[in-house]
């Protein structure tokens, strides 16, 4: 169940990246909404399994004396904030025509979208990057000599996919904004 939970988390991040990519390539609205829906469903399953598995036996780097340490609290808080923001977007998109109207590129980031981005990034970082004890924790991103079969941890892969897709999405939004401003300025110069 522990590995399945990691796979659900990774699949959710990949679906979110695909949803952002389908928005950038301006494919049909249905494909973007479909990817957002898959990401949402996988995220909900990940949260349910995480609640079942939240135990020092599985997440020993989150506990000290059978209580959540600061790292565990940061991970849970950031994940909860990202989930809450996603709930806000989902509830607003059900009253609006589509998720694309709420999560928008052209007019910039909404505060809920920003909360999802920051919350998810902090959650993923807390899951893998800062797993320290007296020495680097064997499951840490920095302990590449302890990676299972020489492969990077799934939390590192998910983080890289997430950050790359968000950066491309933000860059595309910035390019659209700059090109719209340039066209506006050119229109002002050409009119008498």
Contacts (Cβ under 8 Å, ≥6 apart) of 41: none
Name the CA radius of gyration of the chain, rounded: 19
191 pLDDT band (50/70/90 cuts)? Answer: low
**The pLDDT of residue 69 is above 60:** yes
- pLDDT value for 46: 93
- pLDDT value for 130: 64
107 pLDDT band (50/70/90 cuts)? Answer: very low
Give the tens place of pLDDT for each residue, 152-178: 878 888 888 888 888 888 887 788 788
105 pLDDT band (50/70/90 cuts)? Answer: very low
User: How many Cα atoms within 13 Å fall on the side-chain side of residue 29?
Assistant: 7
**The pLDDT of residue 36 is above 50:** yes
**The pLDDT of residue 64 is above 80:** yes
Q: Where are the beta strands (DSSP E) in 42-160?
A: 63-64, 67-68
More confidently predicted of 161 and 29? 161
Give the mean pLDDT of 87-95. 71
- Give the per-residue SS3 of the chain: CHHHHHHHHHHHHHHHHHHHHHHHCCCCHHHHHHHHHHHHHHHHHHHHHHHHHCCCCCCHHHEECCEECHHHHHHHHHHHHHHHHHHHHHHHHHHCCCHHHHCCCCCCCCHHHHHHHHHHHHHHHHHHCCCECCCECCCCCCCHHHCHHHCCCHHHHHHHHHHHHHHHHHHHHHHHHHHHHHHHHHHHHHCC
Among residues of the chain, what percentage have pLDDT more than 90?
7
d(CA 169, CA 171): 5
135 pLDDT band (50/70/90 cuts)? Answer: very low
pTM of the shown model? 0.73
Q: How far is CA 188 from CA 20, 120, 184, in A?
A: 33, 41, 6
Helices 154-190, 111-128: inter-axial angle, 10-degree rounding: 150
- pLDDT value for 45: 94
């Amino acid at each position: 169940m522990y590995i399945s939970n990691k796979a659900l988390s990774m699949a959710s991040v990949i679906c979110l990246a695909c949803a952002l990519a389908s928005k950038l390539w301006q494919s049909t609205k249905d494909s973007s909404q479909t990817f957002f829906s898959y990401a949402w469903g996988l995220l909900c399953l990940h949260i349910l399994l995480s609640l079942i598995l939240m135990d020092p036996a599985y997440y020993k780097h989150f506990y000290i004396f059978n209580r959540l340490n600061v790292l565990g609290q940061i991970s849970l808080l950031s994940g909860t904030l990202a989930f809450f923001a996603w709930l806000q977007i989902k509830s607003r998109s059900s009253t609006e025509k589509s998720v694309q109207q709420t999560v928008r590129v052209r007019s910039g980031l909404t505060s809920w979208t920003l909360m999802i981005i920051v919350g998810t990034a902090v959650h993923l970082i807390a899951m893998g990057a800062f797993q320290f004890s007296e020495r680097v924790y064997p499951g840490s991103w920095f302990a590449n000599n302890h990676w299972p079969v020489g492969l990077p941890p799934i939390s590192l892969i998910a983080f890289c996919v997430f950050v790359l897709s968000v950066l491309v999405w933000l860059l595309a939004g910035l390019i659209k904004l700059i090109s719209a401003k340039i066209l506006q300025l050119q229109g002002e110069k050409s009119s008498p």
